[in-house]
């Protein structure tokens, strides 16, 4: 019989369904909402970008 080595203990992921649900919750927490920009801010960003690119 071969030795399986150290197993990391996962207290909240004992069933596959729990693991999938927890992964979804973690992914939702990591998401960052896009900022709402005014027309003036968008123009400034575009101007800066075009100035650097051109």
Through-space distance between the first and last CA atoms of the chain, rounded to whole angstroms: 66
Residue 51, pLDDT score: 82
For residues 5, 8, 12 and 18, what is the CA-based torsion angle, rounded to 10 degrees? -60
Query: 40 φ, ψ to 5°?
Result: -65, -40
pLDDT in tens, the chain (54 residues): 556 677 676 665 567 777 888 889 988 998 888 889 999 999 999 999 988 776
Residue 46 · residue 37 · CB < 8 Å: no
* Separation CA 29–CA 21 (nearest Å): 13
pLDDT of 19 reads 80
**pLDDT computed for residue 38 by the predictor:** 95
What integer pLDDT is reported at residue 48 of this predicted model? 93
pTM of the model: 0.37
């Amino acid at each position: 019989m071969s030795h399986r080595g150290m197993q990391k203990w996962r207290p909240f992921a004992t069933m596959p369904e729990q693991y999938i649900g927890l992964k979804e919750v973690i992914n939702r927490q990591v998401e960052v909402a896009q900022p709402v920009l005014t027309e003036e801010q968008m123009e400034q960003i575009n101007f800066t970008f075009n100035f650097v690119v051109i």
